[in-house]
């Protein structure tokens, strides 16, 4: 049985691919201890799909991964908020605005990944990475919040990844990108670091804005 569950998302927003799933599936193919599952980019279906994956694979560590176009680095998300405010419709056509992920539940949860140690290890492997303090208000934040609310006993968190160079090239506009192979390296380093780190590093990862 796999002890690590990695999830990526299906393409959304008009993109033909989603680098989160491309990288996650590479890691899943390389490692016996990792199960790779693709989640739908749809508010109604995403958390049931996550639940099914957790029940099937019974992991002790869950890392959900999503695309964050425009980001410069692999972003280790620190906070999930109990809010959905969709800027664009999801893949099922739903566009909820200002509704909670879980009615009556706490405003936010923190990741239980050692994000500072993971950032340091990913950078040491030659891939740009940083701590992020917002996972947005779309399906990724919903999945991150649901993971921490429904599976709080599991070690888990969320990682956003930049567009791939192929996506930026196809857009015909300048923009930040990171190759899917580099993202896959970062995810492997992250998994190894999370599995062996019980206490996070006390180094700064904060931001003024």
Q: Which of 1, 2, 33, 6 is nearest to 147 (CA)?
A: 6
Choose between 127 and 159: whose C-beta lies nearer to ligand PCA: 159
Cα separation of 65 and 69, whole Å?
13
199 is catalytic: no
Q: Which range of residues in 53-61, 65-73, 111-119, 183-191 is near ligand PCA by CB under 6 A?
A: 65-73
Q: Who's near 155: CB < 8 A, 6+ residues apart? A: 60, 61, 62, 112, 113, 194
Cα separation of the two ends of the chain? 42
- Nearest distance from residue 32's CB to ligand PCA, in Å? 26
Mark 134-163 with x for binding to ligand PCA (rule: CB under 6 A) and - for no binding: --x-xxx-----------------------
18 part of the interface to ligand PCA, by CB under 6 A:
yes
57 is catalytic: no
Phi, psi of 129 (to 5 degrees): -150, 155
Can you give the binding site for ligand PCA, defined by CB under 6 A? 9, 12, 18, 20, 41, 66-68, 136, 138-140
* Residues with catalytic roles: 77, 140, 160
């Amino acid at each position: 049985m796999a002890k690590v569950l990695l999830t990526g998302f299906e393409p959304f927003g008009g993109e033909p691919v989603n680098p989160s799933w491309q990288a996650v599936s590479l890691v899943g193919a390389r490692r016996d201890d990792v199960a790779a599952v693709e989640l739908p980019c749809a508010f109604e279906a995403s958390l049931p799909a996550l639940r099914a994956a957790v029940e099937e694979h019974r992991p002790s560590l869950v890392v959900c991964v999503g695309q964050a176009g425009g980001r410069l680095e692999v972003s280790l998300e620190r906070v999930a908020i109990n809010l959905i405010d969709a800027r664009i419709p999801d893949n099922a056509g739903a566009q909820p605005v200002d509704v909670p992920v879980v009615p009556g539940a706490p405003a936010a949860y923190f990741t239980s990944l050692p994000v500072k140690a993971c950032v340091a290890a990913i950078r040491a492997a030659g891939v740009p990475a940083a701590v992020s303090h917002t996972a947005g208000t779309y399906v990724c934040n919903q999945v991150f919040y649901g993971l921490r609310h429904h599976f709080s006993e599991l070690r888990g968190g969320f990682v956003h990844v930049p567009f791939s160079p192929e996506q930026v090239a196809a857009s015909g506009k300048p923009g930040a990108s990171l190759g899917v192979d580099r993202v896959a390296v970062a995810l492997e380093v992250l998994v190894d670091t999370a599995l062996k780190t019980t206490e996070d590093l006390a180094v700064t990862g904060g931001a003024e804005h």
